[in-house]
């Protein structure tokens, strides 16, 4: 029992140090936005999460999460549990992403702060500048940097809901481009690294149009990872499985490392 107690005490003390560092502004912030596959439904079946957290998505004293009440706490899955409150949340890509960065170089990345903002079932038209979701994301992002932290990137996984209507699918590319431009402008970060995910699934028949828009969007410091072919949960075949979310997090990490960002300078 003693070694277990010592390990647990060390984890608590380490986490307290990291939260103190966050308060001092020593934190690298990533915004997680979009809809359900960013929020995370890994392990959720019949409105129940199985509770399984793979090692790649486990808690780490150097990974923090901004809560709904704008407090930094130790990050743990489900990251969006107090954000995407109308749905049952499970494992998403965020923890795998952060752990992957830290495995690459823990000294370089220091403390990683995740800012969950994704809401399941949302269209990109609901993320327009001035809308509730966009403004909430901005409030959370600005609160996260209040103590001097630096926003290092936006992780974006959205579009399943825009496959239902042909009009929405055909408007997706322009709306997506406008969203990325507005986010960078409002955060005063014109070259903010943006890592988006091309759809693995959709709620409607126009998935190919939305995917074409995602893969065809070109901006400096924008990278796209393709989730096509990743494993989907039965029976709805809409949400990524837990193993797929782990793989996606690693893909997002690899893509971020290919951008021009403050951490690489």
**pTM for the structure as a whole:** 0.91
| pLDDT tens, residue by residue, 194-215 | 999 999 999 999 999 999 999 9
Average pLDDT, stretch 45-56? 97
| For helices 166-186 and 207-216, angle between their N-to-C axes, nearest 10 degrees | 30
What is the structure's pLDDT at 170?
99
Tokens of 80: 């969006």
Average pLDDT, stretch 232-238? 93
What is the structure's pLDDT at 20?
52
- Looking at the predicted structure, is the pLDDT value of residue 169 above 80? yes
**Residue 232 CB: number of other CB atoms within 10 A?**
16
- Looking at the predicted structure, is the pLDDT value of residue 184 above 60? yes
| Cα distance between residue 183 and residue 133, in whole Å | 12
- Looking at the predicted structure, is the pLDDT value of residue 8 above 70? no
What is the structure's pLDDT at 147?
63
Average per-residue pLDDT for the chain? 92
- The owner of tokens 């042909």 is 166
- Looking at the predicted structure, is the pLDDT value of residue 220 above 50? yes
Domains and CATH numbers, the chain: 2-264 (3.40.50.1110)
């Amino acid at each position: 029992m003693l070694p277990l107690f010592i390990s647990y005490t060390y984890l608590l003390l380490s986490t307290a140090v990291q939260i103190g560092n966050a308060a001092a502004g020593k934190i690298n912030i990533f915004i997680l936005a979009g809809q359900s596959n960013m929020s995370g439904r890994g392990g959720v079946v019949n409105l129940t999460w199985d509770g399984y957290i793979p090692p790649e998505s486990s808690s780490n004293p150097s990974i923090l999460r901004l809560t709904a009440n704008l407090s930094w706490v130790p990050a743990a899955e489900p990251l969006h549990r107090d954000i995407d409150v109308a749905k049952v949340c499970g494992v998403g890509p965020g923890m795998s992403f952060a752990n992957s960065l830290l495995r690459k170089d823990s000294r370089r990345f220091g403390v990683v702060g995740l800012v969950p903002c994704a809401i399941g079932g949302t269209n990109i038209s609901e993320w327009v500048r001035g809308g509730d979701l966009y403004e909430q994301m901005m409030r959370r992002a600005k609160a996260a940097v209040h103590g001097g932290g630096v926003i290092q990137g936006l992780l974006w996984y959205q579009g399943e809901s825009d496959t239902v209507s042909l009009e929405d699918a055909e408007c997706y590319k322009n709306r997506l481009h406008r969203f990325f431009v507005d986010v960078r402008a409002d955060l005063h970060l014109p070259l903010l690294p943006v890592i988006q995910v091309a759809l693995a699934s959709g709620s409607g028949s126009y998935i190919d149009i939305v995917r074409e828009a995602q893969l065809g969007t070109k901006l400096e410091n924008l990278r796209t990872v393709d989730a096509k072919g990743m494993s989907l949960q039965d029976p709805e075949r809409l949400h990524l499985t837990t193993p797929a979310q782990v793989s996606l997090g690693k893909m997002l990490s690899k893509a971020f490392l290919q951008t021009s960002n403050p951490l690489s300078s």
